[in-house]
DNA sequence: ACCTGAACACCGTTCAAGT
DNA sequence: ACCTGAACACCGTTCAAGT
């Protein structure tokens, strides 16, 4: 009941793929993440989807940590930012939405992009885009860096919640129940807003946060001018 | 060369502590996190610091995930928010700094508080505080919830970076080297701000982000009134 | 009620072979 | 140059005992 003698399990990968490669390993890791989440990633599961022994991966990757960094870098590198128009608000909005779109391409993998600190070149592209827009709008360099960091924190915080928000997305029944629980909490302010706290629309929340952030940046720039 | 016969390793915990308890387990977990980081937490390491077998923990905790949730909840429960004065800006600032202070009490454990979504009662206290301030300032309920979520995202994003920022804190040599690398990156905007991008002062960055956020909230409230 | 021995199905990683 | 067998020191968790 074990492998048939004609099974192609020895010596060569059974997947039609050409050869074991850093790229193919990253791709396989992304497959595992998409299918079963980040926690399901192990050297063994990744190797299994490639039809290879786990130890073979070490010929192309320094270890599991390096592999996860590589996945994050690849996703970051895939981000596309639209051409800038010179309009501060429009350009910042385009960058934010471009970042979100890229991060949500593989929602389960998003925490990798959002929380790993990569010392690589890839991470600089979004930074360059944002700082470029701010400088062109007349922002002094030190304030541009502060604004960049605040914008990044907002974007990361918002997207992290978006990809890991578990409940609040169930059936309408869940919303009603959640609302009731909140209103029964005994906390007065929460009771007053329970109806709104029980719902969560990803697009609406993202739009609100981006609008607020851009308003804040614009206000700062016109103040410092 | 194994345990001496008089070793108190059998039957009773060698630590002076009274008894194995959910609280003592949480405390021991926090010890492990503080000493060696979140990744060092395992049922075995936690049990070891208590002088107990790992399997004993299952009498008080549903599993590792439940244990980490419990740690996050305990830290959340320990947050102290100053009495509210009725001044929107002052009160929001006090809540933000109270949250930060609590989160940084155990910096290595902060990601637990910031990223785990707890369905527990503990998480509602900060929510109640923020929403209460907003409502008292005349904010309509739906906008109060949106503002709450945006503020939370900013706070979480900022604190997450603060606790996981690895480099940029080394010797001054590191700053100079980093600055040169950034200016050599070939990206024009980054080149212009490299000197500022190479430095990172936690207090200054936090203050900047909180100020910006509060300005933005105040602007929204006066607009919607 | 609480603790442990034995056991299971996993991990990441190294190193000396093999081709 | 690249892959694997054997091996090591780990994991989380269950369950049937023991007190």
- Per-residue confidence in pLDDT tens, chain A, 225 aa: 333 333 333 333 444 345 799 999 999 999 999 999 999 999 999 999 999 999 999 999 999 999 999 999 999 999 988 888 999 999 999 999 999 999 999 999 999 999 998 878 888 999 999 999 999 999 999 999 999 999 999 999 999 999 986 544 444 567 888 888 888 989 999 999 999 999 999 999 999 999 999 999 999 999 877
The residue of chain B nearest to residue A220, with distances taken between CA atoms, is: B212
Q: How far apart are CA B38 and CA B111, in angstroms?
A: 9
pLDDT, mean over chain B = 88
Query: Could you give the CA distance from residue B27 to residue B147 in angstroms, rounded to a whole number?
Result: 34
Using alpha carbons, list the distances in angstroms from residue B132 to A67, A190, B88, B137. Answer: 45, 8, 10, 9
Sign of CA dihedral A59, A65, A70, A75: positive
Identity of the residue in B124, B208, B215 whose CB atom sits nearest the CB atom of A187 = B124
* Reported pTM: 0.89
Query: In angstroms, what separates the C-alpha of A78 from chain B's closest C-alpha?
Result: 18
The C-alpha atoms of residue B146 and residue A126 are separated, in whole angstroms, by 26
B187 — alpha (psi -120 to 50), left (phi > 0) or beta? beta
Mean local confidence (pLDDT), B2-20 = 42
Looking at CA atoms only, how far is residue A9 from chain B in angstroms? Answer: 35
According to the model, what pLDDT value does residue A122 have?
A: 81
Compute the C-alpha angle A103/A104/A109, nearest 5°.
Answer: 70
Report how many Cβ contacts below 8 Å link chain A to chain B: 153
Distance between the alpha carbon (CA) of A52 and the C1' atom of D15, Å? 35
What integer pLDDT is reported at residue B12 of this predicted model?
A: 37
**pLDDT-derived band of residue B223, with 50, 70 and 90 as boundaries?**
confident
**Sequence-separated contacts (24+) of A89-94 with Cβ below 8 Å:** A89/A214, A89/A218, A91/A133, A92/A130, A92/A133, A92/A151, A92/A213, A92/A214, A92/A217, A93/A210, A93/A214
Q: Which nucleotide is nearest to A51 (CA to C1')?
A: D3
Angle at which helix B202-224 crosses helix B88-103, to 10 degrees, equals: 140
Q: How long is the CA B54 to C1' C6 vector, in angstroms?
A: 14
CB distance B117–A149 less than 8 Å?
no
pLDDT tens digits for range B96-127? 999 999 999 999 999 999 999 887 788 899 99
* Nearest nt by C1' to A53 Cα: D4
Q: How much is the pLDDT for B211? A: 98
B166: nearest CB among A117, A146, A197? A117
Whether B225 sits with its Cβ under 7 A from any strand C atom: the answer reads no
Nucleotides of D under 7 A from a protein CB: 2-6, 10-15
Mean pLDDT confidence for B68-94? 94
Q: Which residue is nearest to nucleotide C3 (CA to C1')?
A: B56
**Residue of A144, A160, A216 with shortest CB distance to B212:** A216
Query: How far in angstroms lies nucleotide C6's C1' from the CA of residue A144?
Result: 62
CA to C1' distance (Å), from A20 to C18: 18
Say which nucleotide is closest to residue B51, CA to C1' distance: C3
The angle that helices A43-50 and A64-77 make with each other, rounded to 10 degrees, is: 60
Chain A nearest-CA residue for B166: A117
- CA B67, B68, B72, B78 torsion-angle sign: positive
Residue A156: closest C-alpha in chain B: B157
At B41 the pLDDT is: 97
First to last CA, chain A: 77
CA nearest to A154 within chain B: B154
Whether the beta carbon of B12 falls within 7 A of nucleic chain C: the reply is: no
Question: Which stretch of A5-19, B59-73, B180-194 has the lowest confidence by average pLDDT?
Answer: A5-19
The C-alpha atoms of residue B179 and residue A36 are separated, in whole angstroms, by 40
Please, what are the domains in chain A?
Answer: 17-61 (1.10.10.60), 81-224 (1.10.357.10)
Q: What is the pLDDT of residue A107?
A: 96
| A115 neighbourhood in chain B, CB within 8 Å | 115, 160, 164
Of B145, B189, B212, the CB nearest to A197: B145
Nucleotide nearest to A60 (CA to C1'): D2
């Amino acid at each position: 009941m074990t492998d048939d003698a004609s099974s192609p399990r020895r010596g060569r990968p059974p997947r039609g793929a050409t050869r074991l490669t850093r790229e193919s390993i990253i791709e396989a890791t992304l497959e595992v993440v998409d299918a079963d989440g980040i926690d399901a990633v192990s050297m063994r599961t990744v190797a299994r989807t490639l039809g290879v022994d786990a130890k073979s991966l070490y010929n192309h990757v320094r270890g599991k940590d390096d592999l996860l960094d590589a996945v994050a870098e690849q996703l970051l590198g895939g981000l596309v930012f639209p051409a800038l128009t010179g309009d501060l608000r429009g350009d910042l909005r385009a960058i934010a939405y471009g970042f979100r779109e890229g991060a949500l391409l593989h929602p389960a993998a998003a925490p990798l992009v959002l929380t790993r600190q990569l010392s690589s070149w890839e991470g600089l592209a979004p930074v360059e885009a944002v700082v470029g827009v701010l400088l062109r709008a007349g922002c002094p360099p030190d304030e541009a860096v502060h604004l960049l960091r605040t914008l990044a924190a907002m974007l990361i915080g918002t997207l992290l919640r978006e990809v890991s928000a578990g409940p609040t997305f169930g059936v309408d029944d869940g919303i009603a129940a959640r609302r009731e629980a909140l209103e029964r909490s005994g906390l007065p302010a929460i009771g007053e807003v329970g109806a709104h706290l029980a719902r969560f629309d990803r697009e609406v929340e993202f739009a609100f946060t981006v609008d607020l952030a851009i308003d804040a940046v614009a206000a700062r720039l016109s103040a410092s001018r």
